[in-house]
Amino acid sequence: MGKTGIGVLGVLAVVAFAACLSAPQQAAGPARQVPRTNLSAAAGADESEIIIQRGPDNQTQEFVGVFVDGILSAEVAPNSSEKLILPNGPHSVSVTAIGKTSSTLRFQARSSRFVFKASIAIAAFSSVILTKESEVSLDPASAANILASVPGADSLPQAVALAARAIAEDLPEKSRVAIMNIGASSASDGEFAVDELTSLLVNMKKFSMVDRHSLEAVLAEQDLHMSGMVDDDSVISVGRLAGAEIILTGSISGFGDNRRLTVKALDVQSGEIRAMSSQKF
């Protein structure tokens, strides 16, 4: 009996050990959504960012639910995007809409920014699709290191990264910078470009960034709208009222595989263009 008892304990130990090896990794912790009034908020130490981007869905206006580690963490409207911050470590993300759920994508967060795109296909067999668009490291402290791995622009995230590097190289350190708007036929592309450009410049630790909420407050006081800022004089006027020294504005033009992101930095005092970048993607 003694030998049999030891044998059973041994078997149980082996089974328990095997179960530990086969069990999925536990998520590092819950994600938190960044309020739309403070989209420039950046991940802190030992944290990463994920951006869920959604294009226009002509067939449905239903919101897409975003599940991070199995927990509903955000809802994304058509032609919009949402940003979440989460602790470094293993995570999973999926989206759901129209009674359907996408495949679950698993990723390892290591002080990175992940961009995912959610889309809804309504046909004979409707589906919800989630794809990973890009991953950029947030760890380096300098502009050169943050963007050194970007070889050329073949997507909007890469075009924004290259534009950020070009603009940052030509602006004085410690400048107080505001980002007005990036005009685009797709509102979600414009929002994404502004959010991504803001995050990149914040993480460079080179400039003092004007909070998005401050810009919106100035616009509300002047009875203006971001989308109405089409001429440099209006943009400079808002920048001056918001206390900026440099204000960035730009546009996304073209279509398909022949699109271009243009960003320019205007001196609020002189009205001169201090820096400019044009990236084809």
Q: Helices 212-221 and 232-241 sit at what angle, rounded to 10 degrees?
A: 110
> Of 90-94, 129-133, 144-148, 241-245, which gets the smallest average pLDDT?
144-148
Q: Which two tokens stand for residue 86?
A: 């989460």
- pLDDT for res 74: 94
Q: Say if residue 269 is in the same domain as residue 231.
A: yes
Pairwise pLDDT comparison (54 vs 152), residue with the higher score = 54
Residue 19 forms part of a structural domain? no
Which among 90, 118, 137 is the end of a domain? 137
Span 118-139, pLDDT tens digits: 988 877 678 888 988 888 777 6
Residue 248 has pLDDT above 90, yes or no: yes
Q: Which two tokens stand for residue 98?
A: 């129209």
**Distance, CA of 274 to CA of 170 (rounded, Å):** 7
Q: Number of folded domains in the chain?
A: 2
pLDDT band, very low/low/confident/very high, at 230 (cuts 50, 70, 90): low
Dihedral in degrees, nearest 10, Cα atoms 67, 71, 75, 81: -50
Range of the domain at 248: 143-280
Residue 194 forms part of a structural domain? yes
- pLDDT for res 87: 95
Q: What percent of the chain has pLDDT over 90?
A: 32
- pLDDT for res 143: 42
Residue 196 forms part of a structural domain? yes
- pLDDT for res 28: 60
Residue 26 has pLDDT above 70, yes or no: no
Q: In this structure, what CATH number is given to the domain that contains residue 86?
A: 2.60.40
**Distance, CA of 234 to CA of 229 (rounded, Å):** 6
Q: In this structure, what CATH number is given to the domain that contains residue 185?
A: 3.40.50.10610
- pLDDT for res 27: 54
Mean pLDDT (whole number) for 111-118? 88
Q: Say if residue 63 is in the same domain as residue 133.
A: yes
Residue 5 has pLDDT above 50, yes or no: no
Which among 116, 137, 158 is the end of a domain? 137
Q: Which two tokens stand for residue 126?
A: 């409707």
Span 161-179, pLDDT tens digits: 889 988 998 899 999 999 9
Helix, strand or coil for residue 2? helix
**DSSP E strand stretches across 55-199:** 64-68, 71-76, 80-87, 89-97, 100-101, 105-109, 112-121, 127-137, 176-183
Residue 160 forms part of a structural domain? yes
Span 143-155, pLDDT tens digits: 444 455 455 567 8
